[in-house]
């Protein structure tokens, strides 16, 4: 068996590879157990297409999720995968990315997982600009627990846990991500495959925290935010002349919610060092995981000397 | 053998600089080859309150802070008032005579007021003059201290060095002229000993284990590990991160561990409570990670700066479901260093979490070490691990992460290894990582998987050193402790022997798996089994009974936040043997 791939993400950006595998090669060991018509199928397909088109190989990618319908995704894609605890995917992913910064770490999950129980990690992963791609399959509902209110459920929405309508405001993840320092902020719609593939490819190639919020309708428990709902309202930013380098404009577009809901790349800032680039411990040598455990005689002597 | 045993207590308000003279004396003693055990009683306050540092030194190893002081250095009147009455005949009280007044001295105590305003030119040099006076009284030459002062203040210019040296000389001479020195001199054994706190010892143990990833959220009394790691991160090539909360801490460590790093984190009981679900996750995904719980007095926020052994049942019950893990309690500050590499080897070999149950007594105290015992390259066993060295055997597409093996252990491939891509999951999963929890929950598979993970632990027991059992087999009383109480029990056993009571001592270090057979054997001849623990409800006593059926005859417990002193145990044993109680709770004599 050959050497491990040691190309960094930066190198892949500068030297795009020819695709070596097809989408089919990224099919996981299990078939999705999602309801027929679930938006998550579109997200899974877009992610597999993106990694195939980028010329990535299964062992170079680590897909990490939390818990929820959408968090089952790592089982359906042929990469390294971690299906972790509810809300903790970003924390695990940060450790994995720093442990082996040569991996392409993709985090997938739902709105409850990411913005509810995992909200703290979401905020801090972005301010740290960890080199991760974070794809949220946002269906504005808790699906796996059979239909309770989520942090992105509309105020007033009737769910099984808010039978008289939610009285709480919803989170808008786009301005939240912008305020927290994410350096790639996008929104897609599972019903717009090509557009979504492009957003995910951009996110994977981006050096730093890339956030892609994806409208991924729940056909079983959310009868409000349906496929049709988003089809009628979503408008591509790319067609409206939006400048993703303009943070102010990104806030304005990201705050729109109504008859028109923008999707596309809100914001992208290159050249901001990612956490692993800022950490001198990683400046030289192989990934932490591949380093020898021995303590050098000089260091061992110095540590004892300090105590004398 | 010189047979020197000398204890000095330095007390004052937080922010008054209790640590400075304490650290200087410790260093000077250890550089003469004298052993050290020190304990700092303090409070959760940045300024004010009462902090009291006890430094005990001897030419023989010292494993607890002892019962009484030979010297008291009160930095404020409050310390004088609290401790003076506890001083024994022959002891010395050294203090700033311009500021403090003794209240009703105990008989035979030598009061040594120092006119610090005259001896030192500047209040900044008061400590210097006082330390020099101490050295004079214990018969130590001034030169090593002078050298230390020169080294320390060189950068601040000649004047500062000269004024410090003058203060040292003045304090030394004044004490020589006015006070009666001790009838002994602290010897110089000709070798030098190292000194470290328990937190430093835990951190250095991590280094010796080969830790490449350390993360934590600051929480007393474990924060010292984070600070040591942060300070040494770049020198040693260790990734150190302060994380948003303990949920993040343990999960981040698990992520790093999954890629093949040895990853460690430390916290106290409250932070550990937040980590428990993830410890089960590490066991389910079979990722080795080491988590240290430095216990403090609970529950809830509790008494953040006080010690306790109150988290045993928390770590035993941490996380939902049955899962394999190893749990150990270091038996001393020095053992903090040795235990970490040992538990990493087990965690790696058995692909499960390792939990270390230390406590404040260890973490915030300090101890001397023989430099040679600080081996930073002890044996390391990574277990069956594929891909960390950058190469990988050809799996021919047949790699199964959770293969059913006889030992229960299946080879672990790290992400990035070609030909071994797989998914690890916190949901129950099949041999190849596919979930069995959702579409089809197969009871036969589930049973087989539970049994495979469970039987991994059968391999642990034969690898463990037996618990330490010392003393005569036919002793009148058997003292059983676990973790940090080893040193104080050992000293109590010696005191009892001097008083004609034969005692032996069993100290438990490995909590899971519990070495039931060895414990049962050691206790088979016990005439009076007394379990000693620093908690209210007898957590270990209950655990021992549940695992072995052995019920103790009596208990000595302490849950006031302070550690046991040897005489607490000897008093208890005598009361128990006299039939006056079967549960003795000593009263801590001084309010600190």
The enclosing domain of B577 has a CATH number of 3.40.50.920
> Do B266 and B159 belong together in one domain?
no
Distance, CA of B311 to CA of B360 (rounded, Å): 12
CB contact under 8 A, A96 and B258: yes
User: Which of residues B118, B147, B178 is at a domain's end?
Assistant: B178
> Do B303 and B260 belong together in one domain?
yes
* Residue from B54, B369, B33 nearest B186 by CA: B33
Identify the pLDDT of residue A3.
Answer: 36
Sign of the dihedral through C-alpha B364, B367, B371, B372 = negative
> Do B41 and B103 belong together in one domain?
yes
Q: A-contacting residues of B 267-286, CB under 8 Å?
A: 277-278, 281, 285
A-chain residues near B281 (CB < 8 A): 84-85, 88
Strand A184-189 relative to strand B35-41, pairing:
unpaired
Whole-complex ipTM: 0.96
CATH hierarchy code of domain A9-306:
3.40.50.970
The reply to whether omega before B513 is within 30° of 0 (cis) is: yes
Q: What is the mean pLDDT of residues B77-95?
A: 93
Helix (H, G, I), strand (E, B) or coil at B479: strand
Q: What is the pLDDT of residues A46-67, one digit of tens each?
A: 999 999 999 999 999 999 999 9
Identify the pLDDT of residue B394.
Answer: 76
Identify the pLDDT of residue B591.
Answer: 73
| Domain count within chain B | 3
Q: Are B92 and B138 in contact (CB under 8 A)?
A: no
By C-alpha distance, the chain A residue nearest B392 is A1
By C-alpha distance, the chain A residue nearest B229 is A303
> Do B218 and B346 belong together in one domain?
yes
Q: Count of CB contacts below 8 A, A vs B? A: 237
Q: Which of A28, A289, A308 sits opposite B259 (nearest CB)?
A: A289
Distance, CA of A136 to CA of A119 (rounded, Å): 12
Mean pLDDT computed over every residue of chain A: 94
CA distance B161 to chain A (A): 22
Please provide residue B340's backbone torsions phi and psi, each rounded to the nearest 5 degrees.
Answer: -60, -50
How many Cα atoms occupy the beta-carbon half-sphere of B374 within 13 Å? Answer: 28
> Do B24 and B156 belong together in one domain?
yes
Most A CBs within 10 Å: which of B248, B260, B399, as the mutation test of the A interface? Answer: B248
Distance, CA of B459 to CA of B438 (rounded, Å): 32
CA distance B526 to chain A (A): 41
Distance, CA of A109 to CA of A101 (rounded, Å): 21
Q: What is the mean pLDDT of residues B457-465?
A: 97
Write down the H helix ranges in B472-589: 486-498, 516-523, 539-548, 566-577
Identify the pLDDT of residue B17.
Answer: 76
CB contact under 8 A, A96 and B285: no
Count CB atoms within 10 A of the CB of residue B228.
22
CB contact under 8 A, B371 and A308: yes
In a domain, B308, yes or no: yes
CA distance A236 to chain B (A): 35
Count CB atoms within 10 A of the CB of residue A90.
32
Q: What is the pLDDT of residues B484-541, one digit of tens each?
A: 999 999 999 999 999 999 999 999 999 999 999 999 999 999 999 999 999 999 999 9
> Do B167 and B205 belong together in one domain?
no
Identify the pLDDT of residue A6.
Answer: 42
Share of chain B above pLDDT 90, in %: 90
Confidence of residue B62 (pLDDT cuts 50, 70, 90): very high
Q: Which domain holds residue B292?
A: 195-373
| Element at B506 (helix H, strand E) | strand B503-508
> Do B512 and B470 belong together in one domain?
yes
Higher pLDDT, A12 or B556: B556
Most B CBs within 10 Å: which of A6, A77, A307, as the mutation test of the B interface? Answer: A307
Q: Which residues of B197-227 are buried (b: 16+ CB within 10 A; e: fewer)?
A: bbbbbbbbbbbbbbbbbbbbbebbbbbbbbe
Distance, CA of B141 to CA of B187 (rounded, Å): 11
The reply to whether omega before B221 is within 30° of 0 (cis) is: yes
> Do B164 and B223 belong together in one domain?
no
Q: A-contacting residues of B 212-251, CB under 8 Å?
A: 212-213, 215, 232-239, 241, 243-245, 247-249, 251
Chain Cα centroid distance, residue B458: 28
Q: How is the beta sheet containing B48-58 ordered, strand by strand?
A: B110-114, B92-96, B71-74, B5-14, B48-58, B35-41, B366-369, B194-197
Distance, CA of B553 to CA of B575 (rounded, Å): 13
* Six-digit token string for B401: 């992460």
CB contact under 8 A, B257 and A294: no
Distance, CA of B478 to CA of B525 (rounded, Å): 9
Map out the domains of chain A as residue ranges: 9-306
Is residue A242's pLDDT more than 50? yes
Is residue A7's pLDDT more than 90? no
Identify the pLDDT of residue B107.
Answer: 87
Most A CBs within 10 Å: which of B209, B230, B261, B386, as the mutation test of the A interface? Answer: B261
B299: which residues sit within 8 A by CB, 6+ positions away?
A: B269, B310
> Do B135 and B226 belong together in one domain?
no
CA distance B99 to chain A (A): 34
Is residue A124's pLDDT more than 90? yes
Q: A-contacting residues of B 508-567, CB under 8 Å?
A: none
Instruction: Compute chain A's Rg from CA coordinates.
Output: 20
A199: which residues sit within 8 A by CB, 6+ positions away?
A: A186, A187, A188, A212, A264, A265
Query: Is the pTM above the cut of 0.95?
Result: yes
Distance, CA of A283 to CA of A270 (rounded, Å): 19
* Six-digit token string for B39: 């304990």
> Do B172 and B207 belong together in one domain?
no
Chain Cα centroid distance, residue B479: 20
Q: What is the mean pLDDT of residues B444-451?
A: 94
Q: A-contacting residues of B 372-401, CB under 8 Å?
A: 374, 376-377, 380, 387-394
Indicate which CATH number applies to the domain containing B132. Answer: 3.40.920.10
Identify the pLDDT of residue A5.
Answer: 41
Distance, CA of B87 to CA of B85 (rounded, Å): 6
Identify the pLDDT of residue B441.
Answer: 75
Is residue A11's pLDDT more than 50? no
Is residue A15's pLDDT more than 80? no
Q: Which of B232, B263, B434 sits opposite A29 (nearest CB)?
A: B434
Chain A touched by B442 (CB under 8 Å): no
Q: B-contacting residues of A 188-217, CB under 8 Å?
A: none
Write down the H helix ranges in B75-125: 77-83, 116-119
Q: What is the pLDDT of residues B164-176, one digit of tens each?
A: 999 999 999 999 9
> Do B251 and B317 belong together in one domain?
yes
In a domain, B423, yes or no: no
Counting every residue written for chain A, the total comes to 308
> Do B234 and B91 belong together in one domain?
no
Q: Which residues of B429-455 are buried (b: 16+ CB within 10 A; e: fewer)?
A: bbbebbbbeeeeeeeebeeebeebbee
Confidence of residue B105 (pLDDT cuts 50, 70, 90): low
Count CB atoms within 10 A of the CB of residue B182.
18
In a domain, B392, yes or no: no
Chain B touched by A102 (CB under 8 Å): yes
Identify the pLDDT of residue B299.
Answer: 98
* Residue from B322, B319, B331 nearest B291 by CA: B319
Indicate which CATH number applies to the domain containing B330. Answer: 3.40.50.970
User: Which of residues B147, B178, B209 is at a domain's end?
Assistant: B178
Q: What is the pLDDT of residues B264-275, one digit of tens each?
A: 999 999 999 999
In a domain, B553, yes or no: yes
CA distance A279 to chain B (A): 8
Q: Which of A30, A91, A282 sits opposite B252 (nearest CB)?
A: A91
Is residue A2's pLDDT more than 50? no
Distance, CA of B62 to CA of B484 (rounded, Å): 14
Most A CBs within 10 Å: which of B144, B237, B334, as the mutation test of the A interface? Answer: B237
Confidence of residue A10 (pLDDT cuts 50, 70, 90): very low
In a domain, B453, yes or no: no
């Amino acid at each position: 068996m050959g050497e491990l791939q040691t190309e960094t993400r930066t190198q892949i950006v500068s030297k795009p590879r020819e695709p070596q595998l097809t989408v089919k090669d990224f099919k996981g060991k299990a078939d999705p157990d999602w309801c027929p018509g679930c938006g998550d199928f579109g997200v899974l397909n877009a992610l597999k297409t993106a990694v195939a088109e980028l010329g990535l190989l299964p062992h170079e990618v680590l897909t990490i999720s939390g818990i929820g319908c959408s968090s089952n995704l790592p089982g359906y894609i042929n990469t390294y995968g971690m299906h972790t605890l509810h809300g903790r995917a970003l924390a695990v992913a940060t450790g994995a990315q720093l442990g082996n910064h040569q991996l392409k770490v993709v985090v997938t999950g739902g709105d409850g997982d990411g913005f509810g129980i995992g909200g703290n990690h979401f905020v801090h992963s972005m301010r740290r600009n960890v080199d991760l791609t974070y794809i949220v399959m946002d269906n504005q509902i808790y699906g796996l627990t059979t239909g309770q209110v989520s942090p992105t459920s509309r105020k007033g929405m009737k769910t099984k846990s808010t039978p008289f309508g939610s009285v709480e405001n919803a989170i808008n993840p786009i301005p939240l991500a912008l305020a927290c320092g994410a350096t790639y902020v996008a929104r897609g719609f599972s019903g717009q495959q090509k557009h979504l593939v492009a957003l995910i490819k951009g996110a994977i190639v981006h050096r730093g925290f890339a956030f892609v919020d994806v409208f991924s309708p729940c056909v079983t428990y959310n009868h409000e935010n349906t496929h049709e709902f988003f089809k009628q309202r979503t408008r591509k930013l790319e067609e409206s002349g939006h400048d993703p380098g303009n943070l102010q404009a990104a806030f304005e577009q990201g705050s729109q919610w109504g008859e028109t809901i923008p999707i596309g790349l809100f914001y992208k800032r290159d050249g901001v060092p990612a956490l692993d680039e800022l950490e001198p411990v990683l400046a030289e040598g192989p990934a932490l995981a591949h380093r020898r455990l021995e303590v050098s005689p000089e260091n061992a002597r110095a540590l004892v000397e300090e105590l004398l | 053998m010189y047979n020197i045993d000398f204890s000095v207590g330095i007390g004052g308000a937080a922010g008054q600089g209790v640590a400075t003279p304490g650290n200087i004396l410790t260093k000077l003693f250890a550089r003469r080859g004298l052993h050290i055990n020190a304990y700092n009683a303090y409070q959760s306050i940045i300024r004010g309150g009462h902090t009291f540092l006890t430094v005990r030194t001897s030419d023989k190893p010292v494993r607890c802070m002892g019962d009484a002081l030979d010297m008291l250095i009160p930095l404020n009147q409050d310390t004088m008032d609290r401790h003076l009455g506890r001083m024994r005949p022959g002891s010395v009280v050294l203090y700033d005579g311009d500021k403090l007044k003794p209240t009703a001295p105990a008989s035979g105590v030598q009061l040594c007021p120092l006119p610090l305003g005259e001896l030192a030119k500047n209040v900044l040099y008061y400590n210097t003059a006082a330390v020099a006076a101490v050295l004079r009284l214990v018969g130590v030459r001034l030169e090593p201290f002078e050298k230390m002062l020169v080294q320390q203040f060189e950068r601040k210019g000649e004047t500062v060095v000269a004024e410090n040296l003058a203060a040292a000389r003045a304090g030394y001479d004044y004490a020589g002229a006015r006070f009666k020195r001790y009838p002994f001199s602290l010897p110089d054994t000709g070798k030098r000993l190292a000194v470290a706190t328990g937190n430093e010892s835990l951190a250095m143990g991590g280094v010796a284990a080969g830790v490449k990833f350390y993360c934590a959220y600051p929480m007393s009394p474990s924060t010292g590990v984070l600070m040591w790691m942060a300070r040494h991160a770049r020198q040693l090539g260790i990734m150190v991160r302060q994380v948003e909360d303990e949920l993040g801490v343990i999960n981040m460590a698990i992520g790093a561990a999954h890629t093949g790093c040895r990853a460690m984190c430390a916290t106290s009981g409250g932070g550990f409570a937040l980590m428990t679900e993830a410890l089960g996750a590490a066991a389910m995904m079979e990722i080795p990670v080491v988590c240290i719980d430095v216990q403090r007095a609970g529950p809830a926020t509790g008494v953040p700066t006080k010690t306790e052994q109150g988290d045993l049942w928390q770590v035993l019950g941490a996380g939902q479901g049955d899962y394999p893990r190893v749990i150990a309690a270091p038996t001393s500050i020095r053992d903090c260093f040795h235990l970490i590499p040992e538990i990493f080897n087990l965690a790696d070999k058995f692909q499960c979490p390792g939990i270390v149950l230390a406590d404040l007594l260890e973490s915030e105290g300090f101890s001397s070490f023989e430099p040679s015992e600080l081996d930073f390259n002890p044996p390391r066993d990574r277990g069956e691990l594929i891909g960390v060295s950058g190469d990988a055997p050809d799996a021919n597409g047949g790699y199964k992460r959770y293969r059913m093996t006889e030992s229960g252990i299946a080879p672990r491939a790290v992400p990035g290894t070609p030909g071994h891509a797989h998914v690890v999951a916190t949901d129950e999963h099949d041999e190849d990582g596919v979930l069995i929890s959702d579409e089809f929950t197969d009871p036969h598979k589930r049973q087989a998987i539970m049994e495979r993970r469970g039987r991994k632990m059968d391999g642990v027991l034969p690898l463990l050193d037996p618990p330490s059992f010392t003393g005569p087999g036919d002793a009148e009383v058997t003292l059983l402790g676990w973790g940090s109480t080893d040193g104080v029990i050992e000293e109590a056993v010696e005191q009892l022997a001097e008083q004609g009571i034969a005692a032996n001592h069993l100290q438990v270090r490995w909590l899971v798996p519990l070495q039931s057979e060895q414990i049962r054997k050691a206790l088979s001849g016990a005439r009076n089994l007394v379990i000693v623990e620093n908690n209210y409800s007898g957590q270990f006593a209950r655990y021992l009974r549940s695992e072995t059926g052995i019920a103790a005859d009596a208990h000595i417990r302490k849950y006031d936040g302070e550690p046991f002193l040897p005489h607490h145990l000897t008093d208890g044993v005598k009361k128990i043997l006299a039939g006056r109680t079967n549960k003795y709770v000593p009263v801590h004599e001084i309010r600190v």
